[in-house]
């Protein structure tokens, strides 16, 4: 499609396809992919770009681009954008030369403690609480009877959770609590969980919430993630570290360039009387 094609024909300015493309290219690459996959987002960018162009056109008609502050802001913005582009170009060329997998392996060795995964459980539960007129002992008897029916195969645990559990957050999912790390649950609940083998259902467990029947589905011991699991993340971290070092080194070389001479006399004269207009 031709960049000159008009997308919005306005009374003051038009917005062309080429201008919309420029607005989209100005977004970060990872954001571009998200925007381009959603027509609604593209329209939002088109509308906001048109509105900006209308306001900018009105500003030029008023001569606001000649205002000293606006002129300074435009200059600074342009210089910053170009400086960032220069740094990114230098980083792109130099970053490709490093051995990132080797650096990632070194990081894996030094960061093993950070890569530890605590003991993890997958479990479900049924929560029973006193109903009208019930005592604590009544709830315990009801929980024990419900466990007996489930263990004997008269009731399916998930169906029982959907029907009887008062934990509305998990009941609809058959009592599933998903996966969670050790230390997340209240102590009586966790103590009972630690005594179970996968597939076992606990005796009724009392906590401040009520009585629980706990089904342990899976128990994953504490372990350290393998290098393969974290390889890509560590390689990206290594790349980021190298890119940062390149950036710092670049600016230090510019700042400390012996050929860049400061006119100390002129600088002192200005700092003695720092006026922003000639």
Determine the pLDDT at residue 98: 72
pLDDT band at 113; cut points 50, 70, 90: confident
Q: Which residues pair with 6 in a beta bridge?
A: 16
Determine the pLDDT at residue 29: 84
Q: pTM value? A: 0.60
Determine the pLDDT at residue 45: 94
What's phi and psi for 109, nearest 5 deg?
-65, -45
97-112, pLDDT tens digit by residue? 677 888 899 999 998 8
Whether 95 has a pLDDT exceeding 80, the answer reads: no
Whether 157 has a pLDDT exceeding 80, the answer reads: yes
Strand stretches in 62-208, DSSP E: 116-117, 120-128, 176-181, 205-207
What's phi and psi for 181, nearest 5 deg?
-85, 155
182-239, pLDDT tens digit by residue? 989 999 999 999 999 999 999 999 999 999 999 999 999 999 999 999 999 999 999 8
Exposed, middle or buried, 103 (CB in 10 Å: 0-12/13-18/19+)? Answer: middle
C-alpha span between 118 and 121 (Å, rounded): 10
Answer yes or no: are the C-beta atoms of 175 and 125 closer than 8 Å. yes
Task: For the chain, list the domains and their CATH numbers.
Answer: 1-62 (no CATH), 67-116+225-278 (no CATH), 119-221 (3.10.50.40)
Determine the pLDDT at residue 172: 94
């Amino acid at each position: 499609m031709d960049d000159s094609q008009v997308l919005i024909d306005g009374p003051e300015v038009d917005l062309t396809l080429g201008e919309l493309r420029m607005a989209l290219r100005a977004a970060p690459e990872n954001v571009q992919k998200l925007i381009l996959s959603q027509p609604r987002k593209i329209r939002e960018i088109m509308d906001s770009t048109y509105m900006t162009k209308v306001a900018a056109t009105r500003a030029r008609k008023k001569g606001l681009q000649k205002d000293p502050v606006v002129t300074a802001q435009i200059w600074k913005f342009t210089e910053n954008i170009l400086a960032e582009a220069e740094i990114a170009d230098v980083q792109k060329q130099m970053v490709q030369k490093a051995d990132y997998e080797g650096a990632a392996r070194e990081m894996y060795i030094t960061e093993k403690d950070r890569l530890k995964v605590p003991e993890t459980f997958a479990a479900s539960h049924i929560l029973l609480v006193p109903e009208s007129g019930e005592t604590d002992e009544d709830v315990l008897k009801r929980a024990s009877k419900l466990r007996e029916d489930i263990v004997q195969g008269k009731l399916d645990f998930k169906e029982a959770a959907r029907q009887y559990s008062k934990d509305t957050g998990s009941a609809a999912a058959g009592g599933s609590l998903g996966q969670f790390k050790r230390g997340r649950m209240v102590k009586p609940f966790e103590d009972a969980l630690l005594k179970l083998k996968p597939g076992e259902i606990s005796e009724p467990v009392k906590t401040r919430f009520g009585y629980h029947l706990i089904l342990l589905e899976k128990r994953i011991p504490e372990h350290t993630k393998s290098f393969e699991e974290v390889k890509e993340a560590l390689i990206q971290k290594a790349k980021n570290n190298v890119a940062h070092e390149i950036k710092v080194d670049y600016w230090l070389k510019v700042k400390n360039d012996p050929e860049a001479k400061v006119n100390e006399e002129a600088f002192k004269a200005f700092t003695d009387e720092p006026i922003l207009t000639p």
